[in-house]
């Protein structure tokens, strides 16, 4: 399969690139490197670049020439992960968030239409699209109730993909991701509490919990998420619409702090600060639809995923300050 991955240098995008290449697919990765990191694509470039299976394009999903770039590569499947992915940044600058996440998504959908791409897999936000549901884990049938500009923009991307399905026969799949964590997540950003805690604890730095730490999230390991993307693109079934990608399990921030503290042999208690706006109080995603339609289920437990994240942080960041700066 010829694949085109936007956001290819990011946390999830680069993990998807590696998986697609390992499975024997051809990959064209596009990224403007705004939050993504070229280092994430090092092994893809070195191992698969010379044999013509991987090509990186430094480019923007907002660029007018995007349609020509997609057309020149005639992919069978487009995975759209490029985004402004930081909820708090969307609160600070909702216009910028909407430009990248809404207009950028329209631009790639237009490019797909013009190149007659049949498979479009979109990284939706299952963790933010439902707001504060009454019943957890929440199914895809639950009403949409976004509480932040980021959540609104990500839902808009889903809706545009749905409209393109109606108008042009595209078969878009939106994967509503829960809270993804694992190697390559930026531990210095505002989002990604597991990476942030692990990095701080490994380096004996202070950790901060916003609010009382009782709010819950559904933490899903990045390799499991990438497996859902691959299954959605390669299934023989004619699937379209929204699929929750989560574990269905709620874990509090306090529990995450305890687990990461134990796994790093850390000892420092967290500092508590005021809760941040736009964040949901509790979420967990029912993944039955994914399981039934393309046989996906999470395989990596939270403790195993935390151990793998810490191992990656120790070998990639702690000994190499230059790699940290490049993030
Ligand atoms: N991490 C999560 O928990 C989570 C949860 C739900 C949904 N998602 C979605 O998954 C996708 C990937 O998220 P991530 O966590 O890997 O974030 P990330 O920031 O690591 O990856 C996003 C990538 O998009 C690139 N990018 C940003 N703007 C761009 C533009 N205008 N043109 C081209 N490239 C651009 C960045 O450089 C980065 O490499 C995003 O669409 C995000 O909304 C993530």
pLDDT grade for 162, boundaries at 50, 70 and 90: very high
Atom of ligand 1 nearest to the CA of 40: 39
- On whether the CB atoms of residues 79 and 28 are closer than 8 A, the answer is no
**Predicted confidence (pLDDT) at residue 128 exceeds the cutoff of 90:** yes
Query: What percent of the chain has pLDDT above 90?
Result: 91
**Predicted confidence (pLDDT) at residue 326 exceeds the cutoff of 50:** no
Does 60 contact ligand 1 (Cβ within 6 A)?
yes
Residue 312: per-residue pLDDT: 96
Does 85 contact ligand 1 (Cβ within 6 A)?
yes
Q: How far is the CA of 31 from the centre of ligand 1 (A)?
A: 10
What are the beta bridge partners of residue 125? 177
pLDDT tens across 243-274, in order?
A: 999 999 999 999 999 999 999 987 778 999 99
Which of 40, 64, 83, 305 is the pocket-test mutation for ligand 1 (most atoms within 8 Å of CB)? Answer: 83
* Cβ-based neighbour number of residue 52 at 10 Å: 8
Residues with a catalytic annotation lie at: 150
Name the residue with the closest Cα to ligand 1, atom 18. 10
Q: Which two tokens stand for residue 321?
A: 């300050």
pLDDT tens across 266-311, in order?
A: 777 899 999 988 788 999 999 999 999 999 999 999 999 999 999 9
* Higher pLDDT, residue 280 or 213: 213
Does 56 contact ligand 1 (Cβ within 6 A)?
no
Domain ranges of the chain: 2-326
Q: What is the mean pLDDT of residues 188-213?
A: 92
Which of 4, 5, 7 is the pocket-test mutation for ligand 1 (most atoms within 8 Å of CB)? Answer: 7
Spatial distance between the Cα atoms of 90 and 158, rounded to a whole number of angstroms: 18
**CATH code linked to domain 2-326:** 3.40.50.720
Residue 189: per-residue pLDDT: 78
Does 123 contact ligand 1 (Cβ within 6 A)?
yes
Q: Beta 216-217 vs 251-252: how paired, if at all?
A: antiparallel
Spatial distance between the Cα atoms of 210 and 271, rounded to a whole number of angstroms: 9
Does 81 contact ligand 1 (Cβ within 6 A)?
yes
Does 62 contact ligand 1 (Cβ within 6 A)?
yes
Buried b (16+ CB within 10 A) or exposed e, 202-229: beeeebebbeebebbbbbbbbbbbbbbb
| The residue to which tokens 């949409």 are assigned | 144
Q: How far is the CA of 269 from the centre of ligand 1 (A)?
A: 31
**What DSSP string runs through 180-209?**
EESTT--TTSSS-HHHHHHHHHHTT---EE
Q: What is the mean pLDDT of residues 160-164?
A: 97
Spatial distance between the Cα atoms of 299 and 149, rounded to a whole number of angstroms: 32
pLDDT tens across 45-77, in order?
A: 999 999 999 999 999 999 999 999 999 999 999
Residue 277: per-residue pLDDT: 82
**Predicted confidence (pLDDT) at residue 325 exceeds the cutoff of 50:** no
Query: What percent of the chain has pLDDT above 70?
Result: 97
Residues 6+ apart with CB under 8 A from 128: 87, 146, 147, 148, 150, 151, 154, 280
Q: Beta 208-210 vs 241-245: how paired, if at all?
A: unpaired
- On whether the CB atoms of residues 228 and 287 are closer than 8 A, the answer is no
Atom of ligand 1 nearest to the CA of 154: 43
Instruction: Quote the mean pLDDT of the chain.
Output: 94
Does 90 contact ligand 1 (Cβ within 6 A)?
no
CA-based nearest residue to 306, from 268, 267, 251, 236: 251
What are the beta bridge partners of residue 122? 80, 174
User: CA dist 176 to 81, 159, 242, Å?
Assistant: 12, 13, 7
Residue 279: per-residue pLDDT: 81
Does 179 contact ligand 1 (Cβ within 6 A)?
yes
Residue 317: per-residue pLDDT: 67
Question: Most distant CA pair in the chain: distance in Å?
Answer: 57
**What phi-psi label fits residue 12: left (phi over 0), alpha (psi between -120 and 50 degrees) or beta?**
alpha
Atom of ligand 1 nearest to the CA of 35: 37
Q: Which two tokens stand for residue 36?
A: 């993504």
Sign of CA dihedral 307, 308, 311, 317: negative
**What DSSP string runs through 109-153?**
HHHHHHHT--EEEEEEEHHHHT-S-SSSSBPTTSPP---SHHHHH
Residue 268: per-residue pLDDT: 78
Assessment of whether the complete model's pTM goes beyond 0.85: yes
Residue 37: per-residue pLDDT: 95
**Predicted confidence (pLDDT) at residue 320 exceeds the cutoff of 90:** no
Q: How far is the CA of 327 from the centre of ligand 1 (A)?
A: 13
């Amino acid at each position: 399969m010829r694949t085109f991955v936007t956001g290819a240098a990011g946390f999830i995008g680069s993990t998807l690139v590696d998986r697609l290449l390992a499975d024997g697919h051809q990959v064209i990765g596009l990224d403007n490197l705004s939050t993504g990191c070229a280092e994430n694509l090092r092994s893809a470039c070195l191992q698969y670049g010379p044999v013509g299976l991987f090509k990186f394009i430094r480019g923007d999903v907002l660029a007018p020439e995007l349609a020509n770039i997609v057309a020149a590569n005639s992919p069978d499947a487009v995975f759209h992960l490029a985004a402004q992915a930081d909820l708090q940044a969307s609160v600070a600058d909702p216009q910028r968030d909407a430009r990248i996440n809404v207009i950028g998504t329209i631009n790639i959908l237009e490019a797909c239409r013009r190149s007659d791409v049949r498979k479009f897999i979109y990284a939706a936000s299952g963790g933010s699209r439902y707001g504060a549901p009454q019943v957890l884990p929440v199914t895809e049938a639950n009403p949409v109730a976004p509480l932040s500009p980021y959540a609104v923009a990500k839902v808009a991307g889903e809706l545009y993909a749905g409209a393109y399905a109606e108008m042009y026969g595209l078969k878009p799949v939106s994967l509503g991701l829960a809270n993804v964590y694992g190697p390559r997540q930026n531990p210095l950003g505002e989002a990604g509490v597991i990476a942030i805690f692990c990095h701080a604890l490994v380096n004996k730095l202070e950790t901060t919990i916003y609010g009382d730490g009782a709010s819950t999230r559904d933490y899903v390991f990045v390799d499991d998420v990438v497996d859902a993307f691959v299954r959605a693109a390669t299934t023989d079934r004619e699937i379209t619409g929204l699929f929750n990608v989560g574990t269905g399990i709620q874990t509090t921030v306090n529990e995450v702090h305890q687990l990461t503290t134990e796994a790093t042999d850390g000892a420092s208690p967290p500092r508590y600060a005021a809760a941040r706006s736009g964040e949901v109080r509790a979420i967990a995603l029912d993944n039955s639809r994914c399981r039934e339609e393309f046989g996906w289920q999470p395989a990596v437990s939270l403790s195993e995923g935390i151990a793998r994240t810490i191992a990656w942080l120790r070998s990639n960041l702690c000994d190499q300050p230059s790699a940290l700066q490049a993030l």
